[in-house]
Amino acid sequence: MQPVIDASVFIVDDDAGVRDALAWLLRSRRLPSQAFESAEAFLQMIGTGFAPQNPCCLLLDVRMPGLSGLALFERLVARDLHQIMPVIFLTGHADVPTAVATVKRGAFDFCEKPFSDNALVDRVEQAIAQSTQIVRAQQTRNRVRQRLADLTERERDVMRLVVDGLPNKRIADQLDISVRTVEVHRSRVFEKMDVKSAVELANLLREA
C-alpha cells in the first residue's frame, strides 16, 4: 500500500525514546509525524474545533502520567474523531479484555510493545487509508452543500423532480411553468452541480 500524500501520524507517548523511534520508523516509510509527550499536550494542540482536512491517524500509549491513553480515546470518541483519525494503541502492559473492549469501542488496533516495525507501519498505512476514505467523503459532502446553496428555490424544485425521473413536461405541469422554463432551470442545475445527466446528479446527491 502506497503512503497517502499529506497524511499525518500523531504520536502520543510519555517515553521520549519511543517517540523518537516511532518518528524515525515512519520517516523511513515517507510518513510525516508529530509527537506529543502527553495526552494533555495533544488535546491542547487539537483544541475544541479540530476537524482533520487531511488523512491522519493516532499512535497512542495506553499508560501515561496524568490523562491516560484510554481516557484520551474516550474523549475522541465523544467528539466522533476516532473514525477520521483511527487510533492504534501501543502498550507494554497489554491484556486481552482491555484490547477487546477498546477495539469494540472503535479503536483501529491494539499493539503490544515490543512490536514488529513492519507490521506496525502496515497497520498505520491501513489506518491512513480508512481516514482517506472518510476525508474524501467529507470533502464531497461539503462541495455538494456549497453547490446546493447556490441553487435558487425554483432550481431546487426542478432538481428534486429531475432526480425523481420525471420528464420535462410533467415537471412543467407539476410546477405550473412552461417546458422551456424547466429546460432553462434544468440546464442551470446541471451547470451549478457540475454534472452532465440526471443519473450523475442523483448519484452525487446519494454520495453526499
- CATH value at residue 69: 3.40.50.2300
CA–CA separation, 2 and 43 (whole Å):
29
Are residues 115 and 169 located together in one domain of the fold? no
| 3-state percent breakdown (helix, strand, coil) of the chain, nearest 5 | 55, 10, 30
Q: How far is CA 177 from CA 118, 157, 198, 207, in A?
A: 65, 12, 20, 30
In a domain, 20, yes or no: yes
| CATH code of 165's domain | 1.10.10.10
Residue 88 and residue 110 share a domain: yes
Burial class (CB in 10 A: 0-12, 13-18, 19+), 169: exposed
Percentage above 70 pLDDT, the chain: 95
Indicate whether 71 and 18 sit together in one domain: yes
The amino acid that residue 99 corresponds to is A
Q: Are residues 39 and 135 in the same domain?
A: yes
Torsion of CA 47, 107, 119, 11, to 10 degrees: 20
* Residue 162 scores a pLDDT above 50: yes
Whether 114 is covered by a domain: the verdict is yes
Write down the residue that cell numbers 473492549 correspond to. Answer: 101
When divided into structural domains, the chain yields a total of 2
pLDDT of residue 3 exceeding 50 = no
For residue 207, which amino acid is it?
Answer: E
Residue range of the domain that includes 26: 8-143
CA pair distance 115, 27, nearest whole angstrom: 17
Q: Provide the whole-model pTM.
A: 0.78
pLDDT band at 4 (very low <50, low <70, confident <90, very high): very low
Identify whether residues 125 and 175 lie together within a single domain: no
Give pLDDT tens digits for 105-134. Answer: 899 998 887 888 999 999 999 999 999 999
**104 and 131 inside one domain:** yes
Phi, psi of 152 (to 5 degrees): -75, 170
| 26: pLDDT strictly greater than 80 | yes
Q: Is residue 135 part of a domain?
A: yes
